Structure 1
């Protein structure tokens, strides 16, 4: 029995099997990326490694608290400065106003000059007893001799005719109701201490406790402590003169009504 010689040895072919998906099947292959598309999370072309080229993050500024102390000081200084400037302007404007305006601004003061009453504006010298528009009078024809007005205090009524002449020279005449208490009369007298161009006397039939007058202006009040009395004296004394610069000395010093024939000797410049 003859034996055949073996043929060429067959080498079994090998089959390469990839990793399985866990179920014995190889995982499905991922679709190829389209040209021009980038994978999510992939670095952009041209981006440098190590984080270089990333968009810088703007730092957040944390502002500190405002310096309220210096701001308050500056504000206070500004307010004070404005106050000083405002007061200065007010003082200049107020100081430039006429005495007539100041007197008229005092509550209760009557400005008879503004009335342009011929009987009050009359400055002629006349003899004897005269009739006046107001009581006490604030102007009008008068006796040639004025009443002494260097802070003189009379304890009885004086003649209107002499008193009005003193008003013409810029004196302030303080009159008070007859029978006013002595302590209240003393308060009025103190307001005249050391002041020339002032005089004081009781007045019969006065409708208020006190009446203060210069030529053409009058203030009446029931209160001897009324601060308006002092303000009126300050704003009108001397400056209210129609014949300024004439002394209050050398005039009449008696009380009582003017005599029928009294002409007086007048005063220098009257």
Structure 2
């Protein structure tokens, strides 16, 4: 419903606005007014009532329906009050949502960890730990006895532990000896030893004479005759010119290469295997059963004859020289 302020020049009743039509006047308006005095007005759209008043210098406009309310404060200071949620405070301050909220403080967001230095320090720590660990390992290894070092070689067989009684039988004997290992690693042997001053024999040598060389502390390198020439040459380079070393082919060998010291054996597939050098380093001279024994200075006791039958200087012709 809308009520208009009377205009000058007439004593007319306010006209009634009809939704969707023109205002009625005159008798029609009277009858409508009488009819509606007994029942409340009903319209499809929200009505707006505007009242203008003057009282003591204070003016204001009120909008029905709860939208907003503008108000002029006494003394001419304007103010704004916002309806809805919480209202407003006179004097121009705005507040929404009710309650006294603290000021918003900016939150500093961490951009993430700096992984570069963390990774660097981790790597440095691991390297340092590795160096320390390797140093401890080397100290422990250097404090090991030669036999413990030999036992640590992968694939080595220590007959001193597995068959100690066999190796204690180190007596001299003439003739053939049947050895449980092939090639043999110790036991009864011929009174004369095969010369072991870095000798590389082109043919098989007697087991009984070779075992005597082992008793003196030599390392005997044997290989299957089918081994490639370049592999044989590599083996020979490790033997030739080195005292307490000898080398010969060994027919029927079940592996391409086999190394023997008194009580120890290591069988391999290639002359490039680094365990060959380790075996020689740990066992040459160290595995001797006769401290101070030689390999060739006493020309009356060593032999250089090849073949399968054991020989000694008292029963054979002059020895043939090894290559």
Question: Shorter-chain TM-score: which interval?
Answer: 0.5 to 0.7
What secondary structure is seen at the aligned counterpart in 1 of 2:239? Answer: coil
* 1:178-206 Cα distance to aligned partner (Å, 9 max, x none): 34333321121122244221100111322
What secondary structure is seen at the aligned counterpart in 2 of 1:191? Answer: helix
Q: CA deviation at 1:171?
A: 0.6
- Say if 1:127 and 1:262, in contact at 8 Å, map to a contact too: no
* 1:227-254 Cα distance to aligned partner (Å, 9 max, x none): 2222222221111111132221142122
Q: CA deviation at 1:60?
A: 10
Residue 160 in 1 paired to residue 242 in 2? no
Answer 1 or 2: higher relative contact order, Cα 8 Å, separation at least 6: 1
Q: CA deviation at 1:99?
A: 2.2
Q: CA deviation at 1:76?
A: 5.2
Match of 1:137 among 184, 189, 199: 184
Unpaired segments of 5 or more residues in structure 1? 1-18, 23-58, 265-270
Report the counterpart of residue 232 of structure 2 in structure 1: 185
- Say if 2:168 and 2:187, in contact at 8 Å, map to a contact too: yes
**TM norm structure 2:** 0.56
Report the counterpart of residue 97 of structure 1 in structure 2: 144
CA gap 1:81/1:128 in 2 versus in 1, 3 angstroms: same
Report the counterpart of residue 163 of structure 2 in structure 1: 116
Match of 1:221 among 238, 252, 268: 268
Match of 1:258 among 303, 310, 314: 310
Bigger radius of gyration: 2
Residues 188-199 of structure 1 correspond to what in structure 2 (within 5 A)? 188-199=235-246
- Say if 2:209 and 2:311, in contact at 8 Å, map to a contact too: no
CA gap 1:134/1:67 in 2 versus in 1, 3 angstroms: closer
CA gap 1:71/1:187 in 2 versus in 1, 3 angstroms: closer
* 1:206-239 Cα distance to aligned partner (Å, 9 max, x none): 2222111101111112323222222222221111
What secondary structure is seen at the aligned counterpart in 2 of 1:100? Answer: helix
**TM norm structure 1:** 0.66
In 2: Cα distance, 1:172 partner to 1:236 partner: 7
* 1:142-197 Cα distance to aligned partner (Å, 9 max, x none): 11221111110001111111111111111100111234333321121122244221
CA gap 1:70/1:119 in 2 versus in 1, 3 angstroms: closer
- Say if 1:145 and 1:263, in contact at 8 Å, map to a contact too: no
Q: CA deviation at 1:138?
A: 0.2
Aligned residues: 219
Report the counterpart of residue 33 of structure 1 in structure 2: none
- Say if 1:184 and 1:224, in contact at 8 Å, map to a contact too: yes
Q: CA deviation at 1:258?
A: 1.5
In 1: Cα distance, 2:255 partner to 2:214 partner: 20
CA gap 1:77/1:176 in 2 versus in 1, 3 angstroms: closer
Residues 16-165 of structure 1 correspond to what in structure 2 (within 5 A)? 77-165=124-212
Residue 248 in 1 paired to residue 310 in 2? no
- Say if 1:128 and 1:263, in contact at 8 Å, map to a contact too: no
- Say if 2:193 and 2:212, in contact at 8 Å, map to a contact too: yes
